[in-house]
Structure 1
Amino acid sequence: MTRTNEEIVITVPAPLANAARALRRHGVLLAALAIVAAAMAWKTAVVQHAYFKEDDFEFVARAMESELSLDYLTRVHFGQFMPGGFLLAWLSARVEPYGWGVAAGGVLIVHALAALAVYRMLRVVFGNRPAILAPLLVFLIAPITVPALAWWAAALNTVILQLALPMAVASHWHHLRSGRMRHAVAAALWVLVGLLGFVKGFAVPLVLFALTAIYFGGLRSALRRHWPAWLMQAGVLAGFGAIYVQRSLSAPGTGGLPSFEQATGFLWELLGRTFATTVLGGPWTWFAANDWGVASPPTAAVIGSLVVLVALVAVTGHYRRRALLAWATLLGYVVIADALPVLLGRVHLLGSFAGTDTRYVADAAPLIALVVGLVLLPYQGEADPYSRALPARERITGACGVVLGVFAGASLVSVTIFGGYLGADRRHGYIETARAELAKAPADVVVYDRVVPADVMPGSYRSYSLTSRVLGAMASPRLRARMQAPPAALDGMVFDDRGRLVPVEVAGVPLVPRTLDRCWPVTGGTVQVPLDNSARRPAGTLVRLDYSAKADTRVTLWMADRPTDVELRTGVGKIFLLAVPGADRITVPDVPPGVCVGTVTPGQAVPRP
């Protein structure tokens, strides 16, 4: 019997074959996009539970009150010069004032772009290899970035620098390899973007210079061969610095030098506790409540984290050439860009506690990803990357997989615990109630000012703690103007502590006429109503003036040199009007017959009981 061997040929449909080839060609990119999408969905699920707080309210109010001008964009806010952040704030507020979905969504989009920029940076430096997905994952799941995203004011500038830093590194690395000036120009422009987002962007050129000196020929070569790139970046820094200094001179100063104890305590908190633990997936415990949280790792976790970091530095330095210099670059950035500005700005006010806030180091996340790559992987085209023979590939892969898995698990735990503290039902309910009240308020309503409840907005924000600024952001331009300069009215309104519009009353000491009819006497057709203690009366004082009239009539009230016309209604009523600072009396000339001007009460606007 003869057996014929026949070759079996399986024909794969052309679309499947093309898809398979595309997957092999673009597999790393597709995997990166999948990782970014999954991480952003996870962060969105966490951040959606947060809400506006503190500076956020001022940013929304300023955006709604201001045109998109250079004066608005270049305002220095407590030492922060952030035109890019204010641009994002203006756009978000104009789409929907106090719309958390719009505001948080905007910064999450920029953060997602930053993740793609990190992927581009890793691909440019290390090539298109699957191993770059590991440092990308480090950037995406590091707990260090999440608290900043949950605080809109912090995210507005942090995400821009997170985008600019890796883009600058990628462009500069292209320039170093190709020598083309267009890449150097692009790097300088990205430095400018970083500066416009966050003053800390001044440290990006230092990172670029360090990378050049470490990986492209040393210090002298970096200075001699690439001086045009440094000249462009110096020009960017000089121009930005001139504008920043000029604008800072007209801004309230908040800087100051801390004491030695404050400085050392802050550095230990920021570097030894906050950064050392969060860079490994910590801090695992938070000092947190009311939609807010800072790192509060236990002592054992801090000691363990420091030991692990020393071990990682030692092991990578033992095998990988220039690994110690890469670690030093990361530490230098955190000290110069993250610790130093806060040390010279706010530590004297907040003390060492400022070092527990992870938002001060969140901008370092892209550099962490780069350094993780540099201490493990040879960069593209690098010859002889390791100083000694490596262990077996299986052992290296297994060890790196375990470390990455532990980091991922620790990060998930830390972020999940942090997310449990998010939520601001009180602030959200107050804002949404006020939004509904303003929407149905009559066009001619007169709303007097009062301080927003302290559990919504601290009174330390001064004029931006007032309802006319915070809640006025949701009003029409005409009503907002009336809220900030309300006219005299017989039936004024005020926001209560729940955000409802209710009739106004004045909390103060009544000044009662000592006449039998309880009316201030008329002399020569004029009534003089005294306002005692005018020198100690704060700005924004509201005055209630009681009256009675036998018929509808008009009177003119003079306070200092400002006249106010009021239409009185028949019967007993009251007039509400803002006090003029320094005025010691209300003068009513040409008092019509049958009009009695009675008790006057200067004080603060409150809801009527």
Structure 2
Amino acid sequence: MTETTKPRTGMVLTVPAPLARLAGAVSRWVRGRGVLLVALVLIAASLAWKAAIVSSSYFKEDDFEFVARAMESELSFDYLTRIHFGQFMPGGFLLAWLTARLEPFGWGYAAGGILVLHAFAALAVLRMLRVVFGRRPAILAPLLIFLVAPIAVPALVWWAAALNTVFLQIALPMAIASHWHHLRTGRMRHALAAAFWVLFGLLGFVKGFALPLLLLALTAIYHGGLRTALRRHLPAWAAYVTVVVAFGALYVQRSLSAPNTGGLPIFDQATGFLWELLGKTFATTVLGGPWRWFAGGDWGVASPPLAVVIASLVTLAAVVLVTSHYRRRAGAAWAMLLGYVLVADALPVLWGRVHLLGSFVGTDTRYLADAVPLVALVAGLVLLPVEGEAEPYRRALPARERVSGVLGAALGLFVGASLVSVTLFAGYLGADRRHRYIETARAELARTPPDAVIYDRLVPSEVLPNSYRTYSLTSRVLGAMASPQLRARMQAPPAALDGLVFDERGRLRPVDVQGITLAPTTKDRCWPVTGGTVQVPLDNRARRVEGTLVRLGYAARTDAEVTLWMGERATDVRLRAGLGQVFLLAVPGADRIVVQDVPKGVCFGDVTPGQAVPRP
């Protein structure tokens, strides 16, 4: 049996009936899922775009410490619950541990893992929009806002920031979707699912404590007011509060043994920070800005001109007034967004960072990146009725064609502005110096025997500032790529007649010591032997520095075994016949090297305490 169709050209096409039925079924399936398919295409396109941007970046700052700690540590409770400068992020540390174990400083693994989680965040936003507004095509607009918003991109190119942010970007929309199901059905399993997502957000960022407050605000605005929301859904609130309190107790317990990095800023710092974060960074980026970045070193922060800031604030005020004029509860939705930004994004930074770094931290978009899913939701709430909402508008809207035209133009301007802002930001990315240094060191370590002696020094400042203290040392940063045996020797190198050190390019070179040389003034240029003991003085300006390396010159007629004492530490060394030198780590506070029972024919000469450097 066949079916005949007659196209406009007059030609008659005969299609087998099974094929015609299949084509009809496919057509009906596509029509029924058109919104979903378009959304998935948009998500895939945005991920490809962001992957191209992220590939231009590389590890920076905290990333190096995260990788080094992961390679040094077992997957233990202490490792996962360590407080990192006020950050409590067990989920982030778990992801860092797994990623580092795949390949230390493997940017493909690190960036790929973040992009996969960001894809889950996009799917979570899509689920949230479908649950709140239904499967109407209009939900593609707020989804597109999430996908192209410039405020989310800088957090993706900094691994440490992304390890915090992606958890909340998933948790926030998933918690809202589950809670919304609970509000509609009354089923407790949906509330328990929302509680799980609150916990998931907390595992990545302590900002997750604000999620129950956000859920309460949504319930009060769209489901009967605050009193009704509290009374009717008390078991759900109990579940959410239990999660937050239990996690908060663990956070406090772990904080007691961590360095105190919190503190309140002075008034001028606080007001300056709020202006930078809300008045400049947030106000411009939610409109597709900031259109100008203060950038350098594979990074950038928002730096919009004052005229742009003023225009953005005026535009936002107009949008709030117009949407509140037509849409019921639009003002409450805008207030909810502002409240979340203040509670979740501003307050933690005010406590933990502003007093240390000043108001300038308000220009950093990563502190706002977790709010992007909420921005997408609020964009929908102030324009679209939620599913089942009665009388969503205060007054009749203008003609549909006019509304569609205005909103389409606004969305187009937002997307265009966002593409410009992100393209400008991407132009500042690039870490060739860091990447070459790490990969050169990786290759050097791969061909270095595990019994090699590699002495410590600071990595170049353009790779990692020395403010990271011990994690600015080659033994920690580059040691992450070494075998466990070699890594242990790098962190506690023995005394040796020959040693190696990394140069500024990441190559291993013979070691030397840069410091103040002390030489004996005796005729034979040897430190005198008194009662069979030699005492070699150490320069007072260098001997108290942690990590100081000492080079001690000697001459020996034959091979000889000696024991060098520095403070309470004894070091056994086998000297080779002829002229040579011994390298050994200084003991802080020791003012001399003592050699007892000095073998005959052994002379100890000049000594140089200082820092390990490559031999010229």
Deviates more, 1:132-141 or 1:578-587: 578-587
Q: Give the aligned partner of residue 603 of structure 1.
A: 610
Matched, 1:201 2:208: yes
Give the Å deviation of 1:443: 2.5
Name which of structure 1's ranges 531-540 and 248-257 shifts more when overlaid on structure 2: 531-540
CA apart distance, 1:10? 7.3
1:283 paired to 2:301: no
- How far apart, in 2, do the equivalents of 1:332 and 1:424 lie? 37
Structure 1 counterpart SS, 2:358: helix
Unpaired runs of at least 5, structure 2? 1-5
AA of the residue aligned to 2:239: M
Q: Residue in 2 aligned with 1:93?
A: 100
Distance (Å, rounded) in 2 between the aligned partners of 1:554 and 1:101: 50
User: Which string of whole-angstrom CA distances, capped at 9 and with x for unpartnered residues, describes residues 452-511 of structure 1?
Assistant: 111110010000000000110110010000000000011111011111100111111112
- The code of the aligned residue for 1:350 comes to L
The match for 2:306 is 299
User: Does 1:325 pair with 2:340?
Assistant: no
1:48 to 32, 55, 65: 55
Q: Counterpart of 2:163 in 1: which secondary structure? A: helix
Separation in 2 of the partners of 1:16 and 1:481? 65
- Corresponding residue SS for 1:46: helix
Pick aligned residue for 1:161 from 168, 176, 187: 168
C-alpha separation in 2, matches of 1:395 and 1:415:
30
Pick which of 36-45 and 434-443 moved more. Answer: 434-443
Residue number in structure 1 paired with 2:252: 245
Match of 1:64 among 25, 50, 71: 71
592, 598, 601: which is aligned to 1:594?
Answer: 601
TM-score (norm 1): 0.97
CA distance in 2, matches of 1:64, 1:442: 19
CA distance in 2, matches of 1:257, 1:535: 38
Within 5 Å, give how 1:128-167 maps onto structure 2. 128-167=135-174
In the other structure, the counterpart of 2:364 is 357
Equivalent position to 2:133, from 126, 131, 149: 126
Which residue identity lines up with residue 606 of structure 1 in the other structure?
Answer: V
Rounded to whole Å, the distance in 1 between the matches of 2:435 and 2:65 is 16
Asked whether the equivalents of residues 496 and 583 of structure 2 are also in contact (C-alpha less than 8 Å), the reply is yes
Give the Cα–Cα distance (whole angstroms) in 2 for the partners of residues 87 and 122 of structure 1: 30
- TM-score, normalised via structure 2 length: 0.96
Matched, 1:473 2:480: yes
Q: Check conservation: 1:544, 1:577, Cα contact below 8 A.
A: yes
Deviation of residue 532 (structure 1)? Answer: 3.4
Specify which of 165, 180, 184 is matched with residue 177 of structure 1: 184
Instruction: Give 1:270's aligned residue.
Output: 277
Quote the sequence identity (%): 75
What are the superposed Cα offsets for residues 129-148 of structure 1, whole Å, 9 maximum, x if unpaired? 11111100100100000000
- For the pair 1:451 / 2:458, whether they are aligned, the reply is yes
| Partner of residue 581 from structure 1, selected from 564, 588, 596 | 588
- Return the offset for 1:14: 2.4
Q: Is 1:559–2:566 an aligned residue pair?
A: yes
Deviations 1:241-287 (A, max 9, x none): 11111111111222222111111111011000000000000000000
**Whole-angstrom distance in 2 between the partners of 1:320 and 1:272:** 25
Q: Please say if 1:404 is aligned against 2:411.
A: yes
Q: Deviations over 1:370-423 (max 9, x none)?
A: 101111111111111111111111111111110100000000000000000000
**Counterparts in 2 of 1:228-239, with a 5 A limit?**
228-239=235-246
Does residue 29 in structure 1 map to residue 52 in structure 2?
no
Question: Could you tell me how far apart the structure 2 residues matched to 1:484 and 1:347 are?
Answer: 34
Q: 2:22 aligned with 1:15, yes or no?
A: yes
- Contact kept, 8 Å, 2:450 with 2:483, in 1: the verdict is no
Instruction: After TM superposition, give the deviation of residue 598 of structure 1 in Å.
Output: 1.1
CA distance in 2, matches of 1:199, 1:60: 21
Which residue is equivalent to 1:571? 578
Structure 2 counterpart of 1:333, which letter?
Answer: Y
Question: Counterparts of 2:253 and 2:555 in 1: how far apart (Å)?
Answer: 56
Among 543, 553, 564, the residue aligned to 1:546: 553
CA–CA distance in structure 1, aligned partners of residues 442 and 13 of structure 2: 70
Counterpart of 1:471 in 2: which secondary structure? Answer: helix
State the Cα distance separating 1:536 from its structure 2 match: 6.0
Task: Note if contact 2:221-2:332 (Cα within 8 Å) is conserved in structure 1.
Answer: yes
Greater mean alpha carbon deviation, residues 546-555 or residues 359-368:
546-555
- Is the Cα–Cα contact under 8 Å of residues 519 and 606 in structure 2 kept in the other structure? yes
Letter of the 1:557 counterpart: L
CA contact (8 A) 1:534 1:583 kept: no
Instruction: Select between 302-311 and 163-172 the one with higher mean Cα deviation.
Output: 302-311
* Separation (CA, whole Å) in 2 of partners of 1:505 and 1:277: 53
Measure the CA separation in 2 of the matches of 1:515 and 1:536: 23
Deviation readout 1:88-114 (Å, 9 max, x if unpaired): 111111111111111011111101100
The count of residues paired between Structure 1 and Structure 2 equals: 604
Write the distance in 2 (CA, Å) between the matches of 1:219 and 1:182: 22
CA distance in 2, matches of 1:82, 1:16: 51
Contact kept, 8 Å, 2:543 with 2:609, in 1: the verdict is no
CA distance in 2, matches of 1:191, 1:364: 15
3-state DSSP of counterpart to 2:33: helix
User: Is the contact made by 1:49 and 1:422 (CA closer than 8 Å) also made in structure 2?
Assistant: yes
Give the AA of the match of 2:345.
Answer: D
How far is the alpha carbon of 1:567 from its aligned partner? 1.2
Whether the 8 Å contact between 1:118 and 1:166 is mirrored in structure 2 is yes
Instruction: After TM superposition, give the deviation of residue 306 of structure 1 in Å.
Output: 0.8
Counterpart Cα distance in 1 of 2:271 and 2:164:
27
The answer to whether the 8 A contact 2:214-2:340 is kept is yes
What's 1:463 paired with?
470
Pick which of 63-72 and 587-596 moved more.
587-596
**Aligned-partner residue type, residue 580 of structure 1:** V
What is the identity, as a one-letter code, of the residue corresponding to 2:40? L
**What secondary structure sits across from 2:582 in the alignment?**
strand
> Helix, strand or coil: the match of 1:470?
helix
3-state SS in 2 of match to 1:174: helix
Deviation of 1:512 after TM superposition, in Å, equals: 1.1
- 2:543/2:591 contact within 8 Å kept: no
Q: What amino acid maps onto 2:260 in structure 1?
A: G
Tell whether the 8 Å contact from 1:534 to 1:584 is kept in structure 2 after alignment: no
**How far apart, CA to CA, are the structure 2 residues paired with 1:565 and 1:536?**
20
Checking the alignment, whether the CA contact within 8 Å between 2:516 and 2:539 is kept in structure 1 is no
Give the Å deviation of 1:9: 10
Question: For residues 164 and 356 of structure 2, what CA distance do their matches in structure 1 show?
Answer: 22
Residue identity in the other structure for 1:155: A
Separation in 2, partners of 1:281, 1:108: 21
Deviation at 1:15, TM superposition (A): 2.3
- Counterpart of 1:256 in structure 2: which amino acid? G
Residue 483 of structure 1 aligns with which residue?
Answer: 490
Structure 1 residue 545 displacement after superposition: 0.6
Q: Could you tell me how far apart the structure 2 residues matched to 1:131 and 1:206 are? A: 27
**What one-letter code is carried by the residue in structure 2 that aligns with 1:222?**
A
Q: Secondary structure at the match of 2:167?
A: helix
* Correspondence for 2:232: 225
Runs of 4+ in 1 over 4 A off after TM superposition: 6-12
2:3 alignment partner in structure 1: none
Aligned to 1:394: 401
Letter in 1 for 2:118: H
Q: Say whether residues 1:112 and 2:119 are aligned partners.
A: yes
Conservation of the 8 A alpha-carbon contact between 2:181 and 2:190: yes
Q: CA contact under 8 A between 1:535 and 1:582: conserved in structure 2?
A: no
